[in-house]
């Protein structure tokens, strides 16, 4: 592995990283990763054993308080877990959804009762939480959100459809955005709810996609939730979404995915002797330099977050840069192995156990997840440079 060592780590943080990396390199974890890579079509990772073993150590959510299953550490340790999971090739969707998004919202805006009810189970890897934001017809534009929540006694009735969410077929609870008040300001009147996914009033069906992990259409059919299921304040959901999602965007996960792919490409070039060819070596060195730059930029955002001085503009820049560096690495891998990169893990004889074929199918998603590249550039140009 050629990834850079994160700058500015304390001796304790270096020890944490080394222990985490050693654990993820263990035989049991590597066996589980190989089994996941060989899953047949329409099978995907959900309740991973490695998550539960991490949870037993408090490592799955190390920045959370100990009473909720964490270690009471900080943003640096949380970023180390994210980075090492992606470098080790462990599917991270459940971790991102349950810990980085839903867990983070509950920690910062949830009630004590909500935290006690959900966080320990998520931190132990026993349950899965997901998000229900995107809708058919309006995508991620929450100003056009149509899922409605109407008053029902002291609670609410939710009706509407959500699409392109992942892991809901395995999930226990979801963080759902619904419109509670209609008015002239489109982004006002949105409220966040915790909704049970295993309810007769929740219908989940698959939506075709190119990735190994399916998307879902989730229909809420007059689902009742109580006042205890409101996250934050009624009608204040947009502010929470805007503030919290921007603050937690660092680019560290996208760098980890790009770094893992580039390490595999360098390994292939070395094994075939092409690493000594100046034309190949020059291209790979350029890609390697870009990954080091993405790594440094991402860790700058992590340390800023840890110091209580997050910068949404620089975070947007980091996410854009790291995610845009993945496509050139995929192209280099295809050049190295040619048509063999079209072989999936199910075909047999695929290079790197089908890594390239799977990564190519999911490659476009990196420019969309956690904010599209176009939105990141808009934030940089408008909020950072004052050009808009």
Say if residue 140 is exposed, middle or buried (CB neighbours under 10 Å; 0-12, 13-18, 19+).
middle
Angle made by CA atoms 58, 128, 51, in degrees to the nearest 5: 35
Sign of the four-CA dihedral 297, 299, 302, 303 = negative
List pLDDT tens digits, range 291-319: 999 999 999 999 999 999 989 999 999 99
Model pLDDT, residue 1: 45
The runs of H, that is alpha helices, within 26-65 are 27-37, 49-56
Lowest-pLDDT range, 67-71, 173-177, 356-360?
A: 356-360
Can you tell me the distance from the alpha carbon of 159 to that of 275, in angstroms, rounded to the nearest whole number?
A: 57
Can you tell me the distance from the alpha carbon of 364 to that of 167, in angstroms, rounded to the nearest whole number?
A: 19
The domain made up of 131-235 has a fold known as Butyryl-CoA Dehydrogenase, subunit A; domain 2 (2.40.110)
Burial 279-311 (b: 16+ CB within 10 A, else e): ebeebbeebbebbeebbebbbbbbbbbbeeebb
Domain spanning 11-127 has what CATH number?
1.10.540.10
Residue ranges per domain, the chain?
11-127, 131-235, 249-384
Categorize the per-residue pLDDT at 225 as very low, low, confident or very high, splitting at 50, 70 and 90. Answer: very high
Give the global pTM: 0.92
Model pLDDT, residue 2: 52
Can you tell me the distance from the alpha carbon of 195 to that of 47, in angstroms, rounded to the nearest whole number?
A: 20
- Contact between 132 and 64 under an 8 Å Cβ cutoff? The reply is no
Model pLDDT, residue 341: 87
% of the chain with per-residue pLDDT over 70: 97
What residues are paired with 99 via a beta bridge? none
List pLDDT tens digits, range 52-104: 999 999 999 999 999 999 999 999 999 999 999 999 999 999 999 999 999 99
Can you tell me the distance from the alpha carbon of 270 to that of 74, in angstroms, rounded to the nearest whole number?
A: 38
Name the phi and psi angles at 126, rounded to 5.
-90, -25
The domain made up of 249-384 has a fold known as Butyryl-CoA Dehydrogenase, subunit A; domain 3 (1.20.140)
311: which 2 tokens? 């910068």
The runs of H, that is alpha helices, within the chain are 11-24, 27-37, 49-56, 75-87, 93-95, 104-109, 112-123, 237-247, 252-271, 278-306, 312-324, 326-337, 355-362, 373-379
Can you tell me the distance from the alpha carbon of 228 to that of 225, in angstroms, rounded to the nearest whole number?
A: 8
List pLDDT tens digits, range 32-50: 998 888 888 778 888 899 9
Model pLDDT, residue 351: 82
Can you tell me the distance from the alpha carbon of 206 to that of 217, in angstroms, rounded to the nearest whole number?
A: 6
93: which 2 tokens? 């969707």
Nearest to 85 by CA among 66, 99, 70, 68: 99
Categorize the per-residue pLDDT at 8 as very low, low, confident or very high, splitting at 50, 70 and 90. Answer: confident
Can you tell me the distance from the alpha carbon of 243 to that of 261, in angstroms, rounded to the nearest whole number?
A: 32
């Amino acid at each position: 592995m050629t990834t850079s060592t994160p700058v500015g780590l304390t001796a304790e943080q270096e020890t944490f990283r080394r222990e985490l990396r050693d654990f993820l390199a263990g035989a049991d974890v590597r066996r589980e990763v190989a089994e996941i890579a060989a899953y047949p079509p329409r099978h995907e990772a959900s309740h991973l054993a490695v998550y539960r073993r991490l949870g037993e150590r408090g490592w799955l959510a190390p920045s959370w308080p100990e009473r909720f299953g964490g270690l009471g550490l900080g943003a640096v340790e949380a970023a180390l877990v994210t980075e090492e999971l992606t470098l080790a090739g462990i599917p991270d969707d459940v971790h991102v959804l349950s810990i980085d998004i839903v867990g983070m919202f509950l920690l910062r805006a949830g009630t004590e009762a909500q935290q006690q009810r959900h966080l320990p189970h998520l931190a132990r890897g026993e349950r899965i939480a997901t998000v229900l934001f995107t809708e058919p017809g309006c995508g991620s534009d929450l100003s056009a959100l149509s899922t409605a929540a109407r008053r029902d006694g002291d609670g609410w009735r939710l009706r509407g459809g959500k699409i392109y969410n992942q892991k809901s077929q395995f999930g226990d609870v979801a963080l759902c955005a619904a419109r509670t008040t209609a008015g002239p300001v489109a982004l006002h009147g949105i409220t966040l709810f915790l909704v049970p996914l295993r309810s007769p009033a929740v219908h989940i069906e698959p939506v075709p996609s190119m990735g190994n992990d399916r998307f879902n259409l989730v229909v809420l059919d007059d689902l009742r939730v109580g006042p205890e299921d409101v996250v934050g304040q009624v009608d204040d959901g947009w502010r929470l979404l805007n503030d919290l999602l921007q603050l937690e965007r660092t680019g560290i996960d996208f760098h980890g995915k790009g770094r893992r792919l580039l390490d595999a490409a360098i390994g292939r070039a070395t094994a075939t002797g092409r690493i000594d060819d100046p034309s190949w070596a020059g291209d790979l060195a350029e890609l390697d330099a870009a990954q080091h730059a993405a790594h440094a930029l991402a860790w700058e955002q992590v340390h800023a977050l840890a110091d209580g001085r997050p910068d949404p503009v620089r975070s947007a820049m980091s996410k854009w840069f790291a995610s845009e560096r993945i496509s050139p690495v995929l192209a280099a891998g295809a050049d190295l192995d040619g048509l063999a990169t079209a072989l999936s893990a199910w075909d047999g004889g695929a290079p790197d156990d089908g890594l390239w074929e799977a990564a190519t199918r999911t490659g476009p998603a990196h420019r969309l997840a956690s904010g599209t590249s176009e939105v990141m550039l808009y934030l940089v140009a408008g909020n950072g440079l004052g050009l808009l």
